Structure 1
Amino acid sequence: MALQVGDKIPHFSVKDNVGNDFNSESIIGKKAVVIYFYPKDNTPGCTAQACSFRDQYQDFKDLGAEVIGISSDSVTSHEKFIQKYKLPFILLSDSDKKIRNLFGVKTNLFGLLPGRVTYVADQNGIIQMVFDSLSATKHIPKALEMIKKIV
């Protein structure tokens, strides 16, 4: 079952883009957070989305929020993606799709493409917005608008 507005973000741990263990409790429940699931590193839509989050990242930081991207790509793929596009935020490697399943993110296009869903949670870890859209760049203004409302 997919997480909804009002649900608490569940605890998870996974490898980050440099291979370190990332524990969700290090951020979630401490500050507002934008968690976005995307299909694949270095594809046109996902690159546009990541670069849009990069370009607005300081706006999120100024509001006290953190941005976290999650896909099933490897730690190595994430590190190259970050280097190539100078991404300032955390990317998590969900290679076994455990986090995707924990959140209930569905696949699109007849199950061929991992879903593109953005969650915004407040400083208590409670989801305030779920935005599910294949339109990659629409996620950023929606997330920023919600962060401005909750901080």
Structure 2
Amino acid sequence: MNSTTKLLQPKHQKDLRKGRYSEVNQIYHITTTTKNRAPIFSDFSSARKLISTIRKSDDLNFTKTLAFVIMPDHMHWLIQLDNNATLQRIIRSMKSQSAKVIGMPIWQAGYYDHAIRKDEDIQNIARYMVANPIRAGLVTKVGDYPHWDAIWL
């Protein structure tokens, strides 16, 4: 890695990869942002294309999506890994495929993941995620926001 590449990386990006381990059937909360926090998913069509990409991961039995919300400049995705898929491969594929169908580079490098512990309430995590548009002031009721889903509804 040359010095220019090092300067272009977010300061602690390499720290995001420390201790990252993918485990089949493990549930993860993933958060990733658009490049420069551009509000790409304010565009209805772009948000729907990203949702289709997420669904394709489920259709291919790489993931089981438990919940997601697509915000204008980031997304939250609660998934369970299937079929020996690695977290890194799933995220790389989702970012690559969504950028292709939307027709431009859209993602910031890296992502945040949190492996859900057995004592954590998955439904509470999903509720928190899908309430994001309310906290951001985009809507007053979750049902008014079009870019989310959860298996419990």
TM value normalised by structure 2: 0.28
Higher share in helix? 2
Higher share in strand? 1
State the structure with more CA Rg: 2
